[in-house]
Amino acid sequence: MPAPDDPAPVPRRVRVTSPRTSAAQRSTSHTGTREIDEQTRVGEVYMHSLIQSQLRLTLAVIGGAVVVLGGLPLLFFLVPATRTLAVVGVPLPWLLLGVLVYPVVYVAARIYVRQAERIETEFTEFVGRQ
């Protein structure tokens, strides 16, 4: 029996390890998102591709809207009879410019949003696979 003045024995240090230390380590391959986060050259190419796709979509939608809406004054200029034509007592130019403009802008916006979401989804899927 130890004396009351004796210090307690110091416990021996024990190293605790996981039983899976010999298991295969997960590969740390560079994913597309990691390339973008680290701003590597490959990440820059990915981002440039996304921006180019978005720019092409934007220019296509704006171009289509400009052709449709910009074509109305051209129609009035080239076909003078449309300037004086009335539909249900409302002059055709007023009807086209006051009513047709809103559905065209709405449809253009819907097309843009749907296609932009598709581009972003495809980009996210592609970058996640890399």
Angle at 23 between CA 17 and CA 24, to 5 degrees: 135
* Residues 32, 34: Cα–Cα separation, whole Å: 5
Show me where the domains of the chain are located: 32-129
In the structure, what pLDDT confidence band is assigned to residue 98 with cuts at 50, 70 and 90?
confident
Task: Check: CB of residue 130 under 8 Å from CB of residue 34.
Answer: no
Which residues contact residue 75 at a Cβ distance below 8 angstroms, ignoring those fewer than 6 apart?
A: 82
Tokens of 7: 């210090």
Q: What is the pLDDT of residues 40-82, one digit of tens each?
A: 888 888 889 999 999 999 999 999 989 988 898 898 899 999 8
| Cα 73 from Cα 88, distance rounded (Å) | 21
CB atoms within 10 A of CB 46: 19
